[in-house]
Structure 1
Amino acid sequence: MSNTVYLNGKFVPEEEARISPNDRGFLFADGVYEVIKYYNGKPFRYANHIERLERSLREIRIDFRETGSLKSVFQKLLADNELTETHAGIYLQITRGAHRRIHSFPDKYEPTVYAFAFSLPSAAQNIENGIKVTTHEDIRWLRCDIKSVSLLPNTFLFNEAVENGGGECILIRNGVVTEATHSSVFGVKNGTVYTHPLSNLILPGITRKAVIGICKRLKIQVQEKAVSEEELFELDELFITGTGSEITPVIQVDDKPVGNKKPGGITRLIQFEFFKLTSF
């Protein structure tokens, strides 16, 4: 059965979707993206995702003013691909479109808009048992707050983690934890939850925002404060968050266990409250 995708105003079979080889997304990674999770046909924090998308577009100066029409596009993709009654994801990518190869932004262009739906079940085993992660110097650029399609450093480091038996790679910049290759990072020490403050060095994660809200509602002390590389190995609990990761405990960092190498109590409580939010 052929999957239906959306490309520049049309719904077409995936194998018939075509873009120009001169598309700036292909030539320069000149574009941004979003991934939204749908639980039984209903999106989690849709408005937050669109707000972040619009911010990313503004930051790289792509003029796309049709975000208001995207919700119906996504719903049709889910329906056409029979994904309305399960856990699914929508991937959306917007580039500056096709143009002869010049390094400056062209004055006139037509953005390329591409979206597809895919099955996105929860990684139940990871969520229940936790994962091992590796660490590495944060070798990415300095505008990590933009959800750019330029992900080679992220994929390079994630692949290295997988090759070493890990499920993520935590990134260290100037001696402190920033985030992971495709997740936000939270640590727990003496009952307080810590995560890197918003800045140009991390993505403003949607699930990250939800977790901070959960902590405040439950009166769990939460500080947007960076954890040092040394402190990382002394945490009582550690977990990562993201659209795909949801709330995933970390039980080992490199070759060192976290706590008693089991998901901790605060992590479990946040998991419980998070999945209440997604029970549509």
Structure 2
Amino acid sequence: MNGEAASPTRRIVWWNDRFVPEKDVRLSPFDRGFLFGDGLFETLRADDGRPLYVADHVQRLGEAVRHLRLEEASGESASRSLLEAPWVWRDRIAKLLARNGLQRGPARIKIIISRGVVSGLGLPRPAALTRLILAEPYMPPSLEDYARGWTLRTLRHGWTPPTACFKSLSYLFYLWARQDAADAGCDESLVYDKDGRIAETATGSLVFLNEGRCVVSASPHRLKGTAEARVVALFRDDGWIVKEEDLSAENLARFDALWMTNALVGIMPIRAIDGRPLPRLFRSRAARYRDLFFRRGAENSLATM
């Protein structure tokens, strides 16, 4: 099964504290995650059976749980389970990878928390959460893709939603943005917030670069990526100047290069926006920091054992 997706009859998922075959998972049609997208998720990468930066993702998930009132009414709070020691989550995910034969090569992990079945308007306290962890093979971009870089298309109709700072299950906006880019022959979508500030892409964060200097978006209407935080920390370790600024379309000409970051691809240079080439890609530096990002992730995984 290594490197190949298991069939639904053989694939194993972690569901509400149990490892079960995918075909045995039962989701109520009244689950609010299904009805409203009322829940959260985190996507992370594993390499050779080792999940990367688990603690970063669990911390972000736990913070969103508290903001969105996802603690269970029974007192057995979701936040308590989410704040288990990182090695508990790492071990849980590693076991899931092993049960699916995903101990070699890259894999995609998805943690899902839904409010479950509960009545009421607004954000009622859940009686019992629906919790899932999914694992499947992941095919990263090729070395040629990384060297060539991706292209962005500006989303012209729409802006990031008020819930953009959370990894919400209500993800249709970002799927729409990604499809808009694909329909135009581009790799990713460049998304602005309601105030005209550059926010993010459909699936990642952006870092704007000059020699020895990095700027990230100060928009409050975006998701602050776990990969972005780790990459920016690597820059600071190397003496880079790192700032957070409001950025508009007119500011793009200030920068030599632009990278997208997320937990799966690491760092992807951007070669053009709306058909306009960027001055540079900083390819060799992107490759070095990407390798360092994934290597530190593997070391981080071992440290949580």
TM-score, shorter chain, exceeding 0.5:
yes
**Could you tell me which residue of structure 1 aligns to residue 3 of structure 2?**
none
The superposition leaves residues 108-155 of structure 1 with CA deviations (integer Å, 9 ceiling, x where unpaired) of 510000111111232123222211111125523223221111111111
2:81 corresponding residue in structure 1: 66
Aligned equivalent of 2:233, options 178, 192, 213 = 213
Is 2:273 the counterpart of 1:253?
yes
* Partner residue in 1 for 2:121: 103
Structure 2 unaligned spans of 5+:
1-6, 72-77, 300-305
Please give the alpha-carbon distance, in whole angstroms, between the structure 2 residues aligned to 1:278 and 1:120: 16
Residue 229 (1) aligns with residue 254 (2): no
RMSD: 2.0
Aligned mate of 2:203, from 182, 195, 200: 182
Alignment check: 8 A CA contact 1:185 1:241 kept: yes
Which residue of 1 is the match for residue 145 of structure 2? 126
Say whether the 8 Å CA contact 1:129–1:263 is kept in structure 2: no
SS at match of 1:25: helix
Which ranges of structure 1 fall in alignment gaps of 5 or more residues?
A: none
- 2:181 paired residue number: 161
How big is the shift at 1:105? 3.3
Q: 2:160, 2:192 within 8 Å by CA — same for their partners in 1?
A: no
Counting aligned pairs with the same residue, the percent is: 26
Secondary structure of the equivalent of 2:131?
Answer: strand
User: Given residue 81 of structure 2, which amino acid in structure 1 is its aligned partner?
Assistant: E
TM-fit CA distance, 1:270: 2.7
Distance 1:140 1:203, change over 3 A: same
2:110 alignment partner, one of 79, 85, 91: 91
Secondary structure at 2:155 match in 1? strand
Native 8 Å contact 1:4 1:77 kept in 2: yes
Moved over 6 A (4+): none
Query: What aligned pairs does 1:49-60 form with structure 2 within 5 A after superposition?
Result: 49-60=57-68
8 A Cα contact 2:12 2:22, kept in partner: yes
Deviations 1:37-87 (A, max 9, x none): 112222221111111010011110111022225433312210100112221
Q: Using the alignment, how far apart are the partners of 2:224 and 2:55 within structure 1?
A: 14
Q: Distance in 2 between matches of 1:278 and 1:72?
A: 15
**In structure 2, do the counterparts of structure 1 residues 269 and 70 end up closer, same or farther at CA, with 3 Å as the change threshold?**
closer
SS for the counterpart of 1:66 is helix
Pairwise CA distance, 1:182: 1.2
CA distance in 2, matches of 1:164, 1:265: 28
- My pick for the range that moved more, 81-90 or 187-196, is 187-196
Match of 2:52 among 41, 44, 56: 44
| Distance (Å, rounded) in 2 between the aligned partners of 1:183 and 1:79 | 28
Change (3 A) 1:45 1:70: closer
CA–CA distance in 1 between the matches of 2:238 and 2:129? Answer: 43
CA deviation after TM superposition for structure 1 residue 8, in Å: 1.7
Q: How does 1:191-202 map to 2 (within 5 A)?
A: 191-197=212-218, 200-202=220-222
CA deviations over 1:156-176 (Å, ceiling 9, x no partner): 011110111111111123232
Other-structure match for 2:130: 112
Equivalenced residue count is 277
One-letter code of the match for 1:30? Answer: D
Aligned to 1:140: 160
Cα shift at 1:272 = 4.2
